[in-house]
């Protein structure tokens, strides 16, 4: 199973992939998905620009980029975890913890910025590392492990503070809301992280290992891949990305709001799956995840511009979650045979 | 008796010994735990979560999971309150309609999962958002309706000046759940499907029908839990039971029903709920803030899963 992983850009005729889905579901999906998210993204952008008045304004587009940056970062981290066949539900609560503690430490002062940065990444990477260790030691499913940890982290946040307090320093506000030559800093940051992580995922031994672990745990173990270490690093990356996302979130919110990251873990998972990474593991695209995060940010912005109530938006979001999960469903052999 | 069956027995009984231990620890910390009225009140307090956990246990025996349970309980409670609207004559219709709605939502979960075979974990997290969103659209985001006079009074009256009707209803529903799981073909199908889905399919088990029925049952018990919540607290907000999925999952996992399916049962879940409630009460008694309960819940979910996993796995088995 690790052979197709090593060559993600297999160049076979498209028609074979469509009609032959019964025999090679994985390769056919890989070819079809990235264009799907690209088509969706372009169509949505075009549709919104044509039909919604204020959508195309430069400041609105910059706003979308800044809003989407937080989700994109969470999705990038989640991609590694999902590619390795696991899931990390802690990232929303973890980002919140970073928001609250970084806000408290900074308290709006530039002098405290380095310390807060250190604390944020210490917490993010530390919790990620802890999750990874627990995953290796307890050997319970990552869903149930991170679901429990999500509750613990939520409790820690609210024990720490149950009201908004503290403020980001000017540097962080600039990172989250500033621009360089008209381009939002947050967008540049996300592009940088995206390129780095895409290279890490597709061009390094570690990336190949991640996808090998995701496609077949036993296969990867037999191939001599240090499975436990690979999974651990995935959780560390996820924690680190949650820290960075939390910092940007704080910069945007302007205060340490203890519900800041509520539900973001699910948004991140949806972005990853929508982007073309398989929930079953073994197939990953960082660029797809980022494109999907952009798509979700655009949709959210468009619904806001159309003055759709937040309750309707919530419902639409839920429907998107369900639809995306079902569209990504695993193809079982007997099912494929029946439909062929 | 062989070692294996002794271990099996120990595993089945252990949770009740833990419950006893918790009560003893409680009694050492506070006199309250020695008073029958207090202990019975814990039973009443446990009713909403406990009743919801009965249904989720059935789903988890099958190897599924229902994280939309908090949303289902909430929507049942708010629907019941809105339909009653303070009129004692409409209690019957409100009760029936809210349970029917909850069952229908559960069945919808079952259809989505049965036909698409996606991860129920993520899917039900998604349907929870849909349910909350639609509830908020209908209610406008605020508490609607009012509990009819007589409804809460009925459930909270104490028979023999000691046992509230709600506590009795909880026990009765739990017994019904145990009967469903032990005595019916449906119950046995759940275990077969949970322990070996492929074998179940090859045996000709109607996998989809069982899946849909199980999630519908989870919805139905969620509806009853919504009524219990309404009876206990009178709260009819549209988010009344948000976060219940954590309590329910903690109770079910603690009771020995594993996330992998095929193991455990409603009896263990009841012990799990009671342990959870005593733990929450102890958190209060010790003077920790309410949010510490979240930490306790999370740790229980992780620790209980890990311990049962350790007990179940054979030493020679890899991963």
Q: Where are the alpha helices (DSSP H) in A107-257?
A: 113-138, 142-160, 170-177, 185-203, 205-215, 217-222, 227-253
DSSP code per residue over B169-229: HHHHHHHHHHHHHHHSHHHHHHHHHHH-HHHHHHTT--HHHHHHHHHHHHHHHHHHHHHHH
Record: contact A325-B122, CB cut-off 8 A: yes
Q: Is B125 on the interface with A (CB under 8 A)?
A: yes
| Tens digit of each residue's pLDDT, chain A (340 residues) | 334 444 444 333 333 333 433 444 444 445 444 467 888 899 999 999 998 888 988 889 999 999 999 999 999 999 999 999 999 999 999 999 999 999 999 999 999 999 999 999 999 999 999 999 999 999 888 988 999 999 999 999 999 988 898 999 999 999 999 999 889 999 999 999 999 999 999 999 999 999 999 999 999 999 999 999 999 999 999 999 999 999 999 999 999 999 999 889 989 998 998 888 888 888 889 999 999 999 999 999 999 999 999 899 989 989 988 988 888 776 654 443 333 3
Q: Is B242 on the interface with A (CB under 8 A)?
A: no
Chain A, residues 158-177, CB within 8 A of chain B, namely 158-159, 162
**HSE-CB of B257 using CA atoms within 13 angstroms:** 32
Query: For residue range A67-119, what is the model confidence (pLDDT) as tens digits?
Result: 999 999 999 999 999 999 999 999 999 999 999 999 999 999 999 999 999 99
Q: Is B39 on the interface with A (CB under 8 A)?
A: no
Record: contact B134-A315, CB cut-off 8 A: yes
> What is the rounded CA–CA span in Å between residue B218 and residue B235?
22
In sequence order, what are the beta bridge partners of A180?
A183
Record: contact B118-A326, CB cut-off 8 A: yes
The sign of the dihedral angle between the CA atoms of A99, A105, A109, A112 is: negative
> What is the rounded CA–CA span in Å between residue B255 and residue B239?
26
Going through chain B in order, the beta strands assigned E by DSSP cover: 158-159, 163-164
Nearest to B129 among A153, A317, A330 (CB): A317
| DSSP letter assigned to residue A139 | -
In sequence order, what are the beta bridge partners of A184?
A179
Cα–Cα distances (Å) from A201 to A71, A243, B167, in that order, read: 19, 20, 55
Chain A with chain B: Cβ pairs closer than 8 A: 144
Ramachandran bin of A278, using left for φ above 0, alpha for ψ from -120 to 50, beta for the remaining angles: beta
| DSSP letter assigned to residue B164 | E
Residues of B in contact with A134 (CB under 8 A): 302
Q: Is A87 on the interface with B (CB under 8 A)?
A: yes
> What does the CA dihedral B72, B74, B76, B80 come to, rounded to 10 degrees?
-170
pLDDT of residue B31: 86
Q: Is A19 exposed, middle or buried (0-12, 13-18, 19+ CB in 10 A)?
A: exposed
In sequence order, what are the beta bridge partners of A183?
A180
> What is the rounded CA–CA span in Å between residue B163 and residue B149?
21
Give the other-Cβ count within 10 Å of A84's Cβ. 28
Record: contact A218-B292, CB cut-off 8 A: no
| Tens digit of each residue's pLDDT, chain B (319 residues) | 567 776 666 666 788 888 998 899 889 988 888 888 888 989 999 999 999 999 999 999 999 999 999 999 999 999 999 998 888 889 999 999 999 999 999 999 999 999 988 889 889 989 999 999 999 898 887 777 788 888 888 888 888 778 899 999 999 999 999 999 999 999 999 999 999 999 999 999 999 999 999 999 999 999 999 999 999 887 777 777 888 888 999 999 988 898 888 888 999 999 999 999 998 888 888 888 878 888 988 998 899 888 888 877 644 333 3
Record: contact B123-A155, CB cut-off 8 A: no
Distance from CA of B310 to the nearest CA of A (A): 8
- Residue of B186, B235, B204, B176 whose CA lies nearest to B62: B186
Q: Is A19 on the interface with B (CB under 8 A)?
A: no
Q: Are A75 and A329 contacting, i.e. CB atoms less than 8 angstroms apart?
A: no
Q: Is A198 exposed, middle or buried (0-12, 13-18, 19+ CB in 10 A)?
A: buried
**Three-class SS state of A77:** helix
The sign of the dihedral angle between the CA atoms of B53, B59, B65, B70 is: negative
What's the predicted TM-score (pTM) here?
0.85
Record: contact A326-B112, CB cut-off 8 A: yes
List for chain A the helix, strand, coil content (%; round to 5).
Answer: 75, 0, 20
Record: contact A330-B297, CB cut-off 8 A: no
Q: Are A67 and A301 contacting, i.e. CB atoms less than 8 angstroms apart?
A: yes
List for chain B the helix, strand, coil content (%; round to 5).
Answer: 75, 0, 25
**Nearest-Cα residue of chain A relative to residue B312:** A140
Which residues, other chains included, contact A92 with Cβ-Cβ below 8 Å and sequence gap of 6+?
Answer: A74, A150, A261, A262, A263, A264, A265, A266, A268
The sign of the dihedral angle between the CA atoms of B123, B127, B128, B133 is: positive
Cα–chain-centroid distance for residue B274?
12
Distance from CA of A160 to the nearest CA of B (A): 9
Query: For residue range A224-233, what is the model confidence (pLDDT) as tens digits?
Result: 999 999 999 9
Give the other-Cβ count within 10 Å of B21's Cβ. 11
Nearest to B122 among A155, A159, A269 (CB): A269
Which residues, other chains included, contact A191 with Cβ-Cβ below 8 Å and sequence gap of 6+?
Answer: none
Q: Are B279 and B18 contacting, i.e. CB atoms less than 8 angstroms apart?
A: no
H or E segment and range at residue B257: none
Record: contact A158-B297, CB cut-off 8 A: no
Distance from CA of A178 to the nearest CA of B (A): 33
Ramachandran bin of B287, using left for φ above 0, alpha for ψ from -120 to 50, beta for the remaining angles: left
Distance from CA of B228 to the nearest CA of A (A): 24
Chain A, residues 290-309, CB within 8 A of chain B, namely 309
Record: contact A140-B306, CB cut-off 8 A: yes
Q: Is B118 on the interface with A (CB under 8 A)?
A: yes
Record: contact B116-A263, CB cut-off 8 A: no
**HSE-CB of B278 using CA atoms within 13 angstroms:** 24
Counting every residue written for chain A, the total comes to 340
> What is the rounded CA–CA span in Å between residue B73 and residue B192?
28
Query: For residue range B268-303, what is the model confidence (pLDDT) as tens digits?
Result: 999 999 999 998 888 888 888 878 888 988 998 899
Nearest to B298 among A141, A148, A315 (CB): A148
* Inter-helix orientation angle B244-254/B69-84, to 10°: 130
Cα–Cα distances (Å) from A158 to A17, A133, A239, A261, B240, in that order, read: 50, 25, 20, 13, 19
> What is the rounded CA–CA span in Å between residue A315 and residue B138?
12
What radius of gyration do chain A's Cα atoms show?
20
Q: Is A337 on the interface with B (CB under 8 A)?
A: no
pLDDT of residue B189: 94
């Amino acid at each position: 199973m690790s052979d197709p992983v090593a060559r993600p850009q297999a160049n076979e005729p498209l028609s074979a992939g469509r009609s032959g889905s019964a025999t090679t579901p994985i390769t056919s999906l890989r070819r079809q998905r990235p264009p799907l998210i690209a088509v969706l993204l372009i169509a949505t952008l075009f549709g919104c620009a044509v039909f919604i008045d204020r959508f195309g304004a430069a400041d609105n587009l910059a706003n979308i980029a800044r809003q989407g940056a937080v989700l994109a970062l969470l999705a990038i981290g989640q991609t590694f975890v999902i590619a390795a066949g696991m899931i990390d539900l802690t990232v929303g609560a973890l980002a919140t913890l970073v928001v609250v503690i970084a806000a408290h430490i900074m308290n709006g002062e530039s002098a405290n910025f380095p310390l807060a940065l250190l604390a944020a990444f210490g917490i993010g990477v530390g919790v990620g590392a802890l999750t990874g260790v627990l995953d290796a030691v307890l050997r319970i499913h990552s869903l149930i492990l991170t679901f429990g940890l999500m509750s613990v982290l939520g409790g820690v946040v609210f024990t720490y503070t149950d009201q908004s307090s503290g403020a980001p320093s000017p540097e962080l506000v600039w990172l989250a809301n500033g621009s360089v030559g008209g381009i939002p800093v947050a967008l540049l940051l996300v592009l940088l992280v995206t390129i780095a992580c895409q290279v890490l995922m597709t061009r390094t031994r570690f990336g190949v290992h991640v996808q090998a672990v995701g496609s077949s745990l036993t296969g990867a173990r037999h191939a001599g891949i240090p499975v436990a270490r690979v999974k651990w690093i995935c959780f560390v990356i996820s924690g680190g990305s949650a820290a960075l996302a939390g910092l940007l979130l704080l910069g945007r919110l302007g205060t340490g709001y203890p519900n800041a990251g509520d539900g973001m873990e699910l948004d991140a998972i949806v972005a990853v799956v929508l982007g073309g990474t398989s929930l079953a593991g073994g197939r990953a695209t960082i660029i797809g995840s980022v494109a999907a995060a952009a798509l979700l940010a655009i949709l959210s912005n468009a619904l806001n511009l159309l003055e759709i109530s937040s309750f309707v938006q919530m419902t639409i979001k839920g429907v998107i979650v369900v639809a995306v999960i079902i569209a990504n469903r695993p193809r079982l052999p007997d099912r494929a045979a029946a439909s062929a | 008796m062989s070692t294996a069956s002794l271990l099996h027995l120990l595993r089945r009984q252990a949770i009740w010994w833990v419950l006893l231990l918790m009560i003893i620890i409680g009694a050492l910390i506070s006199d309250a735990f020695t008073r029958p009225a207090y202990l019975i009140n814990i039973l009443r307090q446990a009713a909403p979560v406990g009743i919801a956990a009965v249904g989720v246990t059935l789903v988890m025996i099958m190897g599924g999971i229902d994280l939309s349970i908090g949303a289902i309980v909430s929507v049942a409670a708010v629907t019941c309150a809105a339909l009653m609207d303070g009129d004692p004559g409409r209690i019957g219709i409100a009760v029936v309609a809210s349970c029917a709605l909850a069952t229908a939502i559960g069945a919808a979960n079952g259809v989505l999962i049965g036909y698409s075979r996606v991860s129920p974990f993520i899917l039900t997290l998604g349907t929870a958002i849909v349910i909350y969103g639609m509830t908020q659209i209908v209610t406008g985001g605020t508490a609607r309706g009012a509990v009819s006079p007589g409804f809460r009074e009925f459930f909270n009256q104490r028979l023999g000046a000691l046992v509230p009707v709600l506590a009795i209803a909880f026990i009765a529903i739990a017994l019904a759940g145990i009967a469903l799981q032990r005595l019916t073909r449906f119950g046995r199908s759940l275990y077969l499907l949970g322990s070996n889905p492929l074998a179940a399919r090859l045996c000709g088990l109607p996998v989809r029908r069982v899946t849909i029925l199980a999630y519908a049952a989870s919805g139905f018990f969620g509806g009853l839990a919504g009524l219990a919540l309404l009876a206990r607290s009178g709260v009819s907000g549209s988010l009344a039971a948000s976060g219940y999925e954590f309590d329910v999952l903690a109770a079910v996992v603690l009771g020995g029903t594993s996330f992998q399916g095929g193991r455990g049962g409603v009896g263990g879940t009841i012990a799990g709920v009671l342990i959870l409630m005593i733990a929450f009460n102890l958190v209060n008694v010790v003077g920790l803030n309410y949010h510490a309960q979240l930490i306790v819940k999370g740790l229980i979910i992780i620790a209980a899963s890990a311990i049962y996993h350790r007990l179940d796995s054979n030493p020679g088995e890899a991963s």
